[in-house]
């Protein structure tokens, strides 16, 4: 279910989706590929209704993701985006995958235009990476914040005038980026999250509790 709050009038914008009915009635659509790749409902937890799972399936190139229309946002600060998610097993040499979550323009490859979190064992072990991409010119910074496999994580992206993007996990600052933030004409993104495998035949998952977004737009 997507909740559009009263602030979504005039120059206010926002949504909150806790996926109580999977993607029915949602602004999100799914994209999956490979044997067993899926987006499915999962059991709710105390204080966390509407959990869904994104699974890569058992094919070495399997993937799963959800997004709004990938041309829905031409980023205009200020805007804040939150994901509440859980990753039970991290990528490794036997089952290698990439997770990206944030403002994305594709679920099937690295971003041409986007501002996003990334889990990719190439070059930065098991810590979060925070990224931006403008017309395929990318900034990717490795953080000192480890990716937990034991609990829920709240990922927050805040974009301010500059533009500057600030990245936090459970309120802990990973860092900021002021390069390659896609705000120019034709550099649209959506809101999305994806897992994409490249090695191995064991299914790997993301559990997703909610996505929320709010911002202030020019008068319209």
- Model confidence pLDDT, tens digit, residues 27-85: 999 999 999 999 999 999 999 999 999 999 999 999 999 999 999 999 988 999 999 99
pLDDT of residue 173: 98
Report the chain's C-alpha Rg in angstroms.
Answer: 16
pLDDT of residue 10: 62
Q: Is 123 exposed, middle or buried (0-12, 13-18, 19+ CB in 10 A)?
A: exposed
pLDDT of residue 123: 63
User: Within its chain, how far is the Cα of 147 from the centroid?
Assistant: 14
Q: Is 189 exposed, middle or buried (0-12, 13-18, 19+ CB in 10 A)?
A: buried
Which domain range does residue 187 map to? 2-216
CATH number at residue 176: 2.60.120.200
Q: Which stretches of the chain drop beneath a pLDDT of 70?
A: 1-10, 123-124, 219-220
pLDDT of residue 194: 98
The DSSP secondary-structure symbol of 36 reads T
Sheet containing 96-104, strands listed edge to edge, beginning at the edge strand earlier in sequence: 29-33, 63-67, 190-199, 96-104, 114-119, 127-134, 137-146
pLDDT of residue 220: 64
**Using CA atoms, how far apart are residues 70 and 68, in angstroms rounded to an integer?**
6
pLDDT of residue 51: 96
pTM of the model: 0.94
**Using CA atoms, how far apart are residues 120 and 96, in angstroms rounded to an integer?**
8
How many domains, the chain? 1
């Amino acid at each position: 279910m997507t909740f559009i709050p009263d602030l979504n009038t005039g120059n206010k914008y926002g949504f909150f989706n806790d996926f109580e009915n999977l993607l029915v009635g949602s602004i999100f659509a799914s994209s999956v590929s490979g044997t067993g790749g899926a987006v499915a409902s999962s059991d709710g937890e105390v204080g966390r209704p509407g959990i869904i799972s994104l699974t890569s399936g058992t094919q070495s190139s399997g993937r799963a993701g959800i997004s709004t229309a990938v041309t829905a946002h031409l980023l205009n600060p200020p805007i804040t985006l939150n994901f509440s998610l859980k990753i039970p097993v991290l990528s490794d040499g036997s089952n290698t995958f990439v997770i990206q979550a944030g403002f994305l323009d594709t679920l099937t490859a690295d971003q041409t235009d986007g501002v996003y979190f990334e889990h990719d064992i190439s070059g930065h072990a098991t810590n979060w990476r925070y990224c931006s991409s403008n017309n395929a010119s990318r900034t990717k910074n490795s953080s000192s914040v480890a990716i937990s496999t034991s609990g829920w994580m709240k990922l927050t992206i805040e974009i301010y005038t500059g533009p500057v993007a600030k990245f936090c996990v459970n309120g802990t600052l990973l860092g900021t980026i002021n390069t390659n933030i896609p705000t120019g004409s034709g550099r649209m993104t959506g809101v999305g999250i994806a897992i994409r495998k490249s090695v191995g035949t064991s299914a790997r998952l993301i559990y997703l509790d909610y996505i929320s977004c709010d911002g202030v737009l020019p008068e319209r």
